Amino acid sequence: MDIKDIIKPENLVYTKTKLMTDNALSYCPGCGHGTAHRLTMEVIEEMGVEADTIGVAPVGCSVLAYDFMNVDMQQAAHGRAPALATAISRTWPDKYVFTYQGDGDLAAIGTAETIHACNRGENIVIIFVNNGIYGMTGGQMAPTTLPGMPSSTSPYGRDTAKMGFPLKMTELIANLPGVYSVTRQAVHTPKHVRKAKKAIRQAFENTRLKRGLSFVEIVSNCNSGWKMTPNQANEWLEENMLSFYELGDIKVEGQLVKK
């Protein structure tokens, strides 16, 4: 069979969702942000709720998320996305409100806003992309940088005696009684992408049922910051990040399933 006979509209099984704009993504080649954006938008499209969805973009690499996600979006001051989402959700209780934040935004400057929005059990989804580094500003140490991991502000590796330990925000969040669901996923292989999408779908279903706060961490790469090729970075992620940031559900329907 000729390829031309396969490539016909009726045979299309996968293409980019219309809820991703045609703007070229500003991310480095191979960066997991693009995949995480697309999964989020695929879920919104499949649920048919784009007219009721309001997203909040952070400061960091994904500051321009609103250029790519084809839903109403607000751009927050650094770390404050959960405060915006709180207010949007409180004043529009029937809307689907989500934040999309990196590890610097969520786990450093926005620690207070994150913890308190979670603790209040706001009916929102928080998507937390953790690549262990500050990408946008050029590869500085993040609260999530692994012990011994080099960055431009820990050039000899993260010395935990001087620089503190990596912060597992997701486990910390899971222990707050206001939080309904917490999961940690990845998007570097097709298998992980499929699982991550299911987790994001579950999070937005929780919003539909007004169950409260759903927190989805996505362990991702930063090949530019890590100074690797994209595929090397994905292998390094598998070998190093995932042994520290273990994948899987941490809290389901308000119950801790993993300590």
Q: Which of 152, 160, 175, 231 binds other proteins (CB under 8 A)?
A: 231
Distance (Å, whole) CA 61 – CA 228: 18
Amino acid letter, residue 38: R
Q: Does 209 bind other proteins (CB under 8 A)?
A: no
- Among 43, 182, 37, 160, smallest CA distance to 101 is for 37
Distance (Å, whole) CA 254 – CA 50: 27
Complex with other proteins: residue 73 or 167, whichever CB lies closer: 73
Q: Which of 189, 210, 253, 254 binds other proteins (CB under 8 A)?
A: 189
Other C-beta atoms closer than 10 Å to the C-beta of 159 total 11
Binding residues for other proteins, rule CB under 8 A, total: 68
DSSP 61: G
Is beta strand 140-141 parallel, antiparallel or unpaired with respect to 133-134?
antiparallel
Distance (Å, whole) CA 195 – CA 202: 11
Q: Which helix (H) or strand (E) holds 248?
A: strand 248-252
Q: Does 128 bind other proteins (CB under 8 A)?
A: no
Q: Which stretch binds other proteins (CB under 8 A): 29-37, 128-136, 137-145, 248-256?
A: 29-37
Q: Which of 158, 168, 184, 188 binds other proteins (CB under 8 A)?
A: 188
Distance (Å, whole) CA 34 – CA 65: 9
- Would you state the structure tokens that stand for residue 239, as one six-digit string? 């070998």
Distance (Å, whole) CA 195 – CA 125: 17
Q: Which of 163, 211, 230, 256 binds other proteins (CB under 8 A)?
A: 230
Q: Does 6 bind other proteins (CB under 8 A)?
A: yes
Report in angstroms how near the CB of residue 23 gets to other proteins at its nearest: 10
Interface map 68-107 toward other proteins (x if CB under 8 A)? --xxxxxxxx--x--xxxxxx-xxx--x------------
Complex with other proteins: residue 12 or 209, whichever CB lies closer: 12
Q: Using CB under 8 A as the criterion, which residues of the chain lie in contact with other proteins when the complex forms?
A: 1, 3, 5-8, 11-17, 20, 24-25, 27-35, 38, 50-54, 56-57, 63-64, 66, 70-77, 80, 83-88, 90-92, 95, 112-113, 116, 187-190, 193-194, 229-231, 234
